Amino acid sequence: TREIQLASRPVGRPVPENFRLAESPLPELGDGQILVRNLFISVDPYMRGRMNDVKSYSAPFALDKALDGGAVGEVLASRSGQHKEGDVVVHSLGWREYAVVEGNAATKADTGLAPAPAFLGALGMTGLTAYTGLLKVAEFAPGDAVFVSGAAGAVGSLVGQIAKAMGASRVIGSAGSPAKVARLLELGFDAAFDYHDGPVREQLEKAAGPGGIDVYFDNVGGEHLEAALAVLNVGGRVAMCGAIAQYNSTEPTPAPRNLMLAIGKQLTLRGFLVGGQRQHAAEFAGKMAGWLADGTVRYDETIVEGLDNAPQAFMDLLDGANTGKMLVRL
């Protein structure tokens, strides 16, 4: 199969030389396994962390081996009782055209509900991250004012819409371009700003108005987190989902410098991993299917064509080229 391998570990921003398109033999299909032809692969910011050789919550990628990540594909052959030829399944051996996958490590995608790529986005890990981060981690309650960063991205755009659907008093988003700001307003955000337009704190204060914010869903870290700490109301909650502003950093980053505010304001800052939220998967799937069906929640996708372009798609993701979920179609 053709696959994308990690050729060298990026230092700071990834460059094309860190990746290599290669060909590897497929293993023989064993008992309980399925052969899948990948249709779409998911391109995710957390992969940047796995490119470093450091111990973290998910193991580093090996050099000269295929990358992996979420994928949705068609079952071509099955030696598993759980899946049959023609099924569309979600699994974690992306970044290659064909994969031999353990049957019990693949889940069937009900393409009657939504097209296959949605199972990597709104109906998949991305959606579960947004849903549980907002409701279970930040313990959102109706009437809360919510701020989300990375708001035009895959997770962020869902967070804002879910908050609106569940009765937020105000939803504010930040993103990296005027077009993304315009898109957020179309999606029903009450206010949105481009973080390049001035200090985040000033823009957030203005967008929040006198009511402040009760919940901050953090995808970005750094200056965004510092601004949110300044604007959060007493008893405010932060879901710490990501810190993309520092994924390429080679030095420790200074902000937030005002963490002490958490004491006086009695804030809760809670980090989470979507992997620890799987117990909510069924509740989430039901809710999200309903919201998509009645148009309450909409999702954007940025689709790049061809496995060869996957490394560029990843680099572009870190540069904000995507609106909504970044995917590669094989």
CB of 237 to ligand NDP, least distance (A): 15
Q: Binding mask 191-220 vs ligand NDP (x if CB under 6 A, - otherwise)?
A: ----------------------------xx
Nearest distance from residue 309's CB to ligand NDP, in Å? 17
Q: Which is nearer to ligand NDP, 164 or 325 (CB)?
A: 325
Residues 20-79 that bind ligand NDP (CB under 6 A): 44-46
Residue 21 identity (one-letter amino acid):
L
Would you count residue 273 as binding ligand NDP (CB under 6 A)?
Answer: yes
185 binds ligand NDP (CB under 6 A): no
210 upstream amide cis, omega within 30 of 0: no
Among 114, 118, 137, 155, interactor with ligand NDP by CB under 6 A: 155
Shortest Cβ distance from residue 194 to ligand NDP (Å)?
8
CB-based contacts of 314, cutoff 8 Å, min separation 6:
14, 19, 43, 47
Q: Are strands 213-218 and 145-148 parallel, antiparallel or unpaired?
A: parallel
Residue 99: strand, helix, or coil: strand
Instruction: Identify the DSSP state of 66.
Output: B
Selected range binding ligand NDP among 30-38, 72-80, 135-143, 268-276, rule: CB under 6 A: 268-276
Contacts with ligand NDP by CB under 6 A: the residue count is 29
Bridge partners of 100, per DSSP, are: 35
Residue 197 backbone phi and psi in degrees, to 5: -80, -5
Least CB distance from residue 192 to ligand NDP, whole Å?
10
Nearer to ligand NDP, 98 or 216 (CB): 216
Token look-up 């061809």 returns: 306
Is there binding between residue 238 and ligand NDP (CB under 6 A)?
no
As a whole number of Å, the CA-based R_g of the chain is: 20
Cα separation, 263 vs 307, whole angstroms: 48
d(C-alpha 251, C-alpha 319), whole Å:
19
Q: Which of residues 84-123 bind ligand NDP (CB under 6 A)?
A: none
Residues 6+ away with beta carbon under 8 Å from 25: 1
Shortest Cβ 298–ligand NDP spacing (Å) = 15
Residues at the contact surface with ligand NDP, assessed by CB under 6 A: 44-46, 126, 129, 150, 152-156, 175-177, 180, 219-220, 241-242, 244-245, 272-274, 317-318, 320, 322, 326
